[in-house]
Amino acid sequence: MTARAWAELLRVSALFTVPGDALAGAAASGRRPDRGTVLAVGASLCLYEAGMALNDWADREEDAVDRPHRPIPSGRIAPAAALAAAGALTAAGLGLAGRAGRPALAVATGLAATVWAYDLRLKHTPAGPAAMAAARGLDLLLGATATGGAGRTAGAVAPGVGAGTGAGVGAGPGPGSAGGSATAPGSASGTDPVARGSVLGALPAAGLLGAHTYAVTAVSRHEAHGGSTTAPLAALAAVAALGAAALHTRQGRREDQQPARHTGFGGQDESPRPRSPHRSPAIPARTASGLVRTALTGSYVRTAAVPLLHAALNPSPPLTQRAVGGGIRAVIPLQAALAARTGAVGTALAVMGLVPIARTLARKVSPT
């Protein structure tokens, strides 16, 4: 069992598509990345690699026929070692998520359950692409709930509230919760309203990322034998639609909208006075943000669409595999575009910094 064999089993070149999930989730929640985001990245990496190891363990008999060069059928890694690695990585991922708060642990538990269900049961069923899409969407939501979560868990108790902590699980009982847990002020059934707001705010971005994952997974079901033109064409249409959606800002006020007028004590008008017709300093910043978002969206569409078009024109196994690889690499610019969509340009550029690393490793270890 060499390092090279483990790198192939865990598909380390695809590993760099993972951190952007948590960073895009943090941006969608409207908060800056913090210690909780770092914990979410670590948890995501562990759960992603657990899924890779479990995938090859579950497919070891099929790979012995279609992919005899893979680490398990070639004898370079024992099946028991791959299964043990999947279990250990899952436990490590849940442990890291738990340190970011109970809402993050609840999302991570759902993510881990989805990964195991996909690899062991759903992969070869019609529900397979949907399960994979759900896993990627949950990974983004993990970043949204974990960001700021550690601080909420350790926060001070409000005066007169008693033992309320505001760190309950997002949607009812879940891992790490107890039947007698206190409720947060103003919350219902132990639900943390801040964590619930983070999830709701990040749902659009999670949906877009999940839709891309669904399309790529549908194509990947034909990478061993090829022959499908429908799946690449459908994925092409999805990429075009997702690119158009990523160009629209999720939040923000139109430039021609005026602030709401309000009055102070005694009814005196306190609304801002009209400014001079000179351009506001905020306009160049918005223009720069729009240019970055457009460039990132273009990178996403180009990375995913070109190999998909080739696979649609010639659905051979090699070109289908390249289309899947392109779809995996396109996750990074999509994550960056989703972050820029909320105005987090710095986060978006940091995510794009992972592209050269992923591209270099993809030349040495296949991401599929």
How confident is the model over 307-364, as pLDDT tens digits? Answer: 999 999 999 999 999 999 999 999 999 999 999 998 899 999 999 999 988 888 888 8
Token digits of residue 44: 């995501």
Evaluate if residue 70 carries a pLDDT over 90: yes
- 283 confidence band (pLDDT: 50, 70, 90): low
Identify the pLDDT of residue 265.
Answer: 39
306-340 as b/e: b if 16+ CB within 10 A: ebbbbbbeebeeebbbbbbbbbbbbbbbbbbbbbb
Rounded Cα gap, residues 206 and 134, in angstroms: 9
Cα atoms in the Cβ-side hemisphere of radius 13 Å centred on 45: 14
Q: Decide: 13 and 362 in contact? Cβ < 8 Å.
A: yes
What is the phi/psi pair of residue 269, to 5°?
-70, 120
In degrees, rounded to 5, the angle at the alpha carbon of residue 159 between the alpha carbons of residues 156 and 162 is: 85
Rounded Cα gap, residues 205 and 246, in angstroms: 9
Rounded Cα gap, residues 64 and 356, in angstroms: 33
How confident is the model over 91-146, as pLDDT tens digits? Answer: 999 999 999 999 999 999 999 999 999 999 999 999 999 999 999 999 999 999 99
Question: What 3-state class would DSSP assign to 68?
Answer: coil
Identify the pLDDT of residue 302.
Answer: 96
Closest CA to 191 of 175, 163, 165, 172: 172
What is the phi/psi pair of residue 263, to 5°?
-120, 150
Rounded Cα gap, residues 21 and 173, in angstroms: 25
Rounded Cα gap, residues 245 and 250, in angstroms: 9
- 66 confidence band (pLDDT: 50, 70, 90): confident
How confident is the model over 192-246, as pLDDT tens digits? Answer: 676 676 788 899 999 999 999 999 999 998 887 878 899 999 999 999 999 999 9
Alpha-carbon 45 to chain mean position: 11
Q: Decide: 172 and 188 in contact? Cβ < 8 Å.
A: no
In degrees, rounded to 5, the angle at the alpha carbon of residue 217 between the alpha carbons of residues 347 and 344 is: 10
Identify the pLDDT of residue 151.
Answer: 60
| Residue matched to tokens 């910043």 | 285
What is the phi/psi pair of residue 188, to 5°?
-120, 135
Rounded Cα gap, residues 147 and 152, in angstroms: 10
Q: Decide: 16 and 359 in contact? Cβ < 8 Å.
A: no
In degrees, rounded to 5, the angle at the alpha carbon of residue 289 between the alpha carbons of residues 286 and 295 is: 140
Token digits of residue 304: 């995913």
For all residues of the chain together, what is the average pLDDT?
A: 82
**Which DSSP category does 269 fall into?**
B
Q: What's this model's pTM, rounded to 2 decimal places?
A: 0.79
